[in-house]
Structure 1
Amino acid sequence: MIFFFVSITITLAQSTIVTSGDTWKYLDNGSDQGTNWRNVGFNDAAWSTGNSEFGYGESDEATVVSYGGNPDSKHITTYFRKVITLSSAYSSFILRGKRDDGVAIYFNGVQIFKDGLTEPILYNTLATNALDDGQVWLSATLPGNILQVGQNTIAVEIHQAAINSSDISFDFELIGQNSTYISRGPYLQMGTSNSMQIRYRTNVATTSKINYGTDPNNLNTQVSDNVSKSEHLVDLSNLIPNTKYYYNIANSTEIIQSSAQHFFYTAPSIGTEKKTKVWVTGDCGTGTSTQANVKNAFLNYVGNNYIDLWLLLGDNAYSSGYDYEYQTLFFEPYQNSRTMKQTPIFPAPGNHDYYSSSQASRSGAYFQNFTLPINGEIGGPPSYNEGYYSYNYANIHFISLDSYGTETASLYRLSDTLNSPQIAWLKADLAANTQKWTIVYWHHPPYTMGSHNSDTESELRYIREKVLPILERNNVDLVLCGHSHNYERTRLIKGHYGLESTFSANTHNQSSSSARYDGTSDSCPYIKSSTLPNKGIVYVVAGSSGWPSSTQGNYPHDATIYSNSEKGGSMYLEIEGNRLDSKWISENGTVADQFTIMKDVNKNTEVYIVPNTPSLNLQASWLGDFVWENSSITSRTLSINPVIGQRYFVEDSRQCLKDTFLFKVNPNCVNNYQLTNVVGGNSTLNLNANQAISASNILQNGTRVNLSAGKSILLENGFQASNGGVFKAEIKNCVN
């Protein structure tokens, strides 16, 4: 018999015993296994082995199971088994599972959970249809005596609702807990290059303690607080930039939560051109199957890639932003996935986040649940207001704005640009910004015809009319919003502040390209400069991370190049050096839209070299692929023997980008020159020396060469002037 073990070697208040992605034995041949397969000691050596999630038809499976050879008569039942080992007892267990369509779960041969099935459960019993399509995690709390210390057998059967069903899904998690456990989080806040805040909530008041270090087997540093509380904020400081830290959560007597997913990376030093990965969700806290689908699609797409930042675009917990809504609709749907344990969250508030208090009050759950850098801790001037703030990460400046809250007795909002404290702060922030990239996000979009109308809704219209000119005068590259429960994306645009009917593609689009950069027609990246006046901004509405909904009659907005109101989704940004790539990942796992922006590319560079330079390296100005002229080298850097006067070219494979390098010799007067470099055809070379010039090089066809020296010009062996060129040498003093 083959067993697969999960061993817990330390007593934890909350321990992950089985997690998504673990190894199981499974049987997918459609056979009648009776009931003995559920029991301890059953011989499953001949069964297949795979990792969850299991299934077919959804494109999100880690292991694809077979349905047989006939798509119109598929296997009804698929079987799964796993043996675990517990080294200690627990007071209770949390069982979490995904199933499509019906499921029955057995511990040590005893049924402990079922959904969508009625007794008797036979191998050909059809299930009721799973309305969530198996995308929502079901959960149940089980008593501690349901499993024993030592070996235990988990057996699961998944049943189809119809023999021609298009898909099947199964995933499973099991968490053991004792009297004290984490009910919220952990989640990360205030991530800097040398600090991180870990927040969490426990079910009862207890002391706080974080054990952490760079070695997962030696968490040798601790931060603790001996005051008992249920809301815990623990600050880790004096960390090393761009470094991986592991951690667990404890109190004064025991470890409360620990797993292989409990780690984070500190930010790089500000200005570093590190590849940065960002997840963006808008209007996400709905508790719907769409929310689960969007999360799972994103995690499946990025795989094991670490996500550096998580941006929230507002309306993070429906429908009024109360704390219990944050608990059930935001924290619980995300806290068992790795992102919340590993990635700092930087939110923006939406109107629904304010409904639990008032528009003028910043006392609601949103403002209690998030710790925000309002004192300029991570870059940018202090805002001293939890509604809006800014921060730097790598070479990116992020600005989170508040498009719904009011300030002062006059109740100024974001669009009150003459008097709003937020606008005064925003202008100062933009003026002080020195990062290559600037991304601004808030809730209410300036361009939308989705579930909201940016022509008829005044708060959207005023932002477009009054705030966008400020952003466009400064170095803003990308604006992200939610509110409309759909996805809409513009080209690189500038100067449109009126109603939709006044939008002119010829006037306002700064590029006709889709910027998908995928080889399709007119899809080259948007090109911008770090130093020249702002060429335009890409505006994105990404408010369907919780659900897609209805649209206006004239949807999509004329300013958009791509829109989607059929599926939910989230954004994935990758920013490295002078390249920004954005993908909108639909809940079905496809990249439905993408665009690329590049800065400071397509360079024409004159390279001045010292005569006789034997070799030097040329580097393309972008990240991507490279086609060097007359070379098979495909790397970003090319090593050459320079030819004076010759131009070198590098392009990308899609012929969107091109750098040119022209080699010249400094014409200023020097003491002596010894010239051995080839002078390229049809080029011009002027050399001036106080003392002497010696030449042993070749002048190619059509060159024009003028040599001037105060004492001597020596043409040595190897010197050759080709036909069609002009060569002139004269004894003449020179001065700079």
Structure 2
Amino acid sequence: MNSRFFLSVLLHCITGMGGAEAYAGETSRNFSDSSQLLTRGPYLQMGSETAVTIRWRTRMATDSRVEIGTQPGRYKTIIKDRETTTEHVVQVSGLKPDTRYYYRVGSSTGILQGNKDNYFRTAPPEGTQRKIRIAAFGDCGTNSKGYQAGSLNSYLRFTGTNPAEIMLLLGDNAYSSGKDSEYSKNFFPAYEGTVLKNHVLFPAPGNHDYYSSSQASRDGAYYRNFTMPTAAECGGVASGTEAYYSYNWGNIHFLSLDSYGTETDQKLRLYDTLGPQVTWIKKDLAANTRKWVIAYWHHPPYTMGSHNSDKEAELVHIRENFIRILERMGVDLVLCGHSHNYERSRLMHGHYGPENDFDPGIHALSASSGKYDGSENSDPYITASGKANKGTVYVVAGSAGASGHIQSGYPHNAMPYSMNDGGMLYLEVEGNRLDARFIRRDSVVADQFTIFKDVSKNVSKTVRAGSKLRLSASWPGAYRWSNGERSRSINVRPSRSQNFFVTDGRGSLADTIRVKVVSR
């Protein structure tokens, strides 16, 4: 490190003042060797329609500087924070919804890191119909048997130039004790060069994340390394804690929950349904207006992988006491980790007992695989918006980094689509359609399922004879109209009353539109 640079840093440490400021039109220069200063990141947190938080770590304390723009290499807005620190946390606000921004980070002395792969997308508003992409990594804080590298590389190959916008962590994000040194060794190096630079990260804690602190303290490395919303900055109802929170992304409402930490003097847990966390969950879900609800946390209610949900008290209590609340309040999808494998249910409801009590004739609301891939018995799952007890799909995806054994009798009776291998879960949500794929570490899509909401409609329309009428199918996907057209929407000019039909071509979805023609 040259003496001029060292003196500049030293002066910042002595005279730095707090408070972020935004500027436009300034220019900056690069450091000759950013590796001398940058030790972690950058990575993205707390994304919303109008803001995002950018974090990074430096070896020496400096002030903070973020430059952003809507085109790579052109950074018209500069945000500066004069306070000197090694943990840089800069909120960028005043952004436009559903817009891609490029950024780079550094200090008043120069830019530490920034290239065409440094970008983020702000959240789309409610009502958006475009495809939203989500990546979920469970138990990813280790590279057991190459699971971490294989899962990440398979995801990157699968998504190519259209990666996810947000990244969910399902807990156990750094092995084996959740220490800061383990985050520095086992988590950030694996992801910061690729997905952390351009996926807004929304984590949940696991038991290993707590082992270096305590269940009650909520002050371990997990909480120091990540910035989570506490005051509804990203939507939902304010939780008042980084341990659990909610946020909105387009038509999706997410809940990130804490299944291991304890609350209040009584040391209540997630499954103690009168505790602060569940009290907040009920308020949050009651206030939600988004079409889709996805909840995720670490400890699964159903598993016969490396953990046994019939024998382990935490898992038993979550199943018996907690998930009925989510089902009653319309949660569509539950994602968990903890077991180091992949397990998936059908659309199901009402099973809160041990494995042997599961009855597919009672608890599975569909006998289909839900794969919607043209294979036998693969119809998608169909539900309705806002309907209580309409069914939930449960997924365990805890093998994005960790490997493990399975229980005798695997898979769990409620989780028939399961495999003991590494991988991650990739989601796409487009309007009223949700597609999920388990991408195995060898790049094979080893399981998939699709859920539709509010489809196969029977509607009536009235039009004057010869007037143009636009008809649309109630789902995104494939279409076969009774007049031979294959697009989602068609224009017709009926001269007489008639019925129009559209199907998905697989016999799974069908709309009937009854058009009544009246005289001019």
* TM-score, normalised via structure 1 length: 0.65
Alignment of 1:292 onto 2:145: no
Cα deviation for residue 215 of structure 1 reads: 2.7
State the match for 1:278 in structure 2.
Answer: 134
Give the secondary structure class of the aligned counterpart of 1:225: strand
Can you give the 5+ residue segments of structure 1 that lack an aligned partner in the other structure?
1-11, 14-87, 91-176, 667-672, 675-736
Matching residue within 151, 170, 183 for 1:313: 170
Report the Cα distance in structure 1 between the residues aligned to 2:104 and 2:387, rounded to whole angstroms: 48
The answer (yes or no) to whether the contact 1:396–1:439 under 8 Å persists in 2 is: yes
Cα deviation for residue 541 of structure 1 reads: 0.3
Report the Cα distance in structure 2 between the residues aligned to 1:629 and 1:523, rounded to whole angstroms: 24
Cα deviation for residue 324 of structure 1 reads: 0.6
Cα deviation for residue 203 of structure 1 reads: 1.7
Alignment of 1:514 onto 2:369: yes
Alignment of 1:626 onto 2:479: yes
Cα deviation for residue 210 of structure 1 reads: 0.9
State the match for 1:457 in structure 2.
Answer: 312
State the match for 2:269 in structure 1.
Answer: 413
State the match for 1:617 in structure 2.
Answer: 470
Q: Deviations over 1:362-405 (max 9, x none)?
A: 01001111111111111111111211100000000000111111
The answer (yes or no) to whether the contact 1:211–1:220 under 8 Å persists in 2 is: yes
Alignment of 1:574 onto 2:431: no
Report the Cα distance in structure 2 between the residues aligned to 1:618 and 1:497, rounded to whole angstroms: 43
Alignment of 1:597 onto 2:468: no
Cα deviation for residue 465 of structure 1 reads: 0.8
Alignment of 1:336 onto 2:186: no
Q: 1:641 is matched by which residue type in structure 2?
A: R
State the match for 1:651 in structure 2.
Answer: 503
% identical aligned pairs: 52
Matching residue within 446, 451, 476 for 2:331: 476
* TM-score, normalised via structure 2 length: 0.92
1:136-215 equivalences in 2 (<5 Å): 177-178=33-34, 180-215=36-71
The answer (yes or no) to whether the contact 2:495–2:517 under 8 Å persists in 1 is: no
State the match for 1:536 in structure 2.
Answer: 391
Q: Deviations over 1:97-149 (max 9, x none)?
A: xxxxxxxxxxxxxxxxxxxxxxxxxxxxxxxxxxxxxxxxxxxxxxxxxxxxx
Rg larger in structure = 1
The answer (yes or no) to whether the contact 2:255–2:296 under 8 Å persists in 1 is: yes
Cα deviation for residue 271 of structure 1 reads: 3.7
Cα deviation for residue 427 of structure 1 reads: 0.6
Give the secondary structure class of the aligned counterpart of 1:560: coil
Give the secondary structure class of the aligned counterpart of 1:563: coil
Report the Cα distance in structure 2 between the residues aligned to 1:89 and 1:450, rounded to whole angstroms: 49
Matching residue within 481, 493, 496 for 1:641: 493
Report the Cα distance in structure 1 between the residues aligned to 2:415 and 2:65, rounded to whole angstroms: 49
The answer (yes or no) to whether the contact 1:208–1:234 under 8 Å persists in 2 is: yes
Cα deviation for residue 361 of structure 1 reads: 1.1
Report the Cα distance in structure 2 between the residues aligned to 1:571 and 1:373, rounded to whole angstroms: 24
Cα deviation for residue 526 of structure 1 reads: 0.2
Cα deviation for residue 612 of structure 1 reads: 1.9
Cα deviation for residue 665 of structure 1 reads: 5.1
- Identify which of structures 1 and 2 has the higher relative contact order when contacts are C-alpha pairs closer than 8 Å and 6+ apart: 2
Judging changes above 3 Å, is the alpha-carbon distance between structure 1 residues 423 and 573 closer, same or farther for their aligned structure 2 residues? same
State the match for 1:375 in structure 2.
Answer: 231
Cα deviation for residue 433 of structure 1 reads: 0.7
The answer (yes or no) to whether the contact 2:382–2:453 under 8 Å persists in 1 is: yes
The structure in which a higher percent of residues are strand is 1
The answer (yes or no) to whether the contact 1:528–1:534 under 8 Å persists in 2 is: no
The answer (yes or no) to whether the contact 2:136–2:424 under 8 Å persists in 1 is: yes
State the match for 1:47 in structure 2.
Answer: none
Judging changes above 3 Å, is the alpha-carbon distance between structure 1 residues 615 and 183 closer, same or farther for their aligned structure 2 residues? same
Give the secondary structure class of the aligned counterpart of 1:186: strand
Cα deviation for residue 643 of structure 1 reads: 4.8
The answer (yes or no) to whether the contact 1:287–1:328 under 8 Å persists in 2 is: no
The answer (yes or no) to whether the contact 2:31–2:110 under 8 Å persists in 1 is: no
Q: 2:289 is matched by which residue type in structure 1?
A: T
Q: 1:647 is matched by which residue type in structure 2?
A: N
Can you give the 5+ residue segments of structure 2 that lack an aligned partner in the other structure?
7-29
Instruction: Tell me how large the CA RMSD over aligned residues is.
Output: 1.7
State the match for 1:606 in structure 2.
Answer: 460
Give the secondary structure class of the aligned counterpart of 2:417: strand
State the match for 1:494 in structure 2.
Answer: 349
Cα deviation for residue 535 of structure 1 reads: 1.6
1:45-60 equivalences in 2 (<5 Å): none
Report the Cα distance in structure 2 between the residues aligned to 1:522 and 1:220, rounded to whole angstroms: 54
Judging changes above 3 Å, is the alpha-carbon distance between structure 1 residues 268 and 178 closer, same or farther for their aligned structure 2 residues? closer
The answer (yes or no) to whether the contact 2:73–2:115 under 8 Å persists in 1 is: no
Report the Cα distance in structure 1 between the residues aligned to 2:36 and 2:300, rounded to whole angstroms: 43
Alignment of 1:564 onto 2:416: no
Q: Deviations over 1:602-649 (max 9, x none)?
A: 00011122x324221110000001011132x21101111225432111
Alignment of 1:347 onto 2:203: yes
The answer (yes or no) to whether the contact 2:294–2:334 under 8 Å persists in 1 is: yes
Judging changes above 3 Å, is the alpha-carbon distance between structure 1 residues 502 and 89 closer, same or farther for their aligned structure 2 residues? closer
Q: 1:608 is matched by which residue type in structure 2?
A: T
Report the Cα distance in structure 2 between the residues aligned to 1:227 and 1:387, rounded to whole angstroms: 27
Cα deviation for residue 178 of structure 1 reads: 4.7
Report the Cα distance in structure 1 between the residues aligned to 2:88 and 2:167, rounded to whole angstroms: 21
Matching residue within 575, 584, 589 for 2:438: 584
Cα deviation for residue 262 of structure 1 reads: 1.2
Report the Cα distance in structure 2 between the residues aligned to 1:228 and 1:535, rounded to whole angstroms: 52
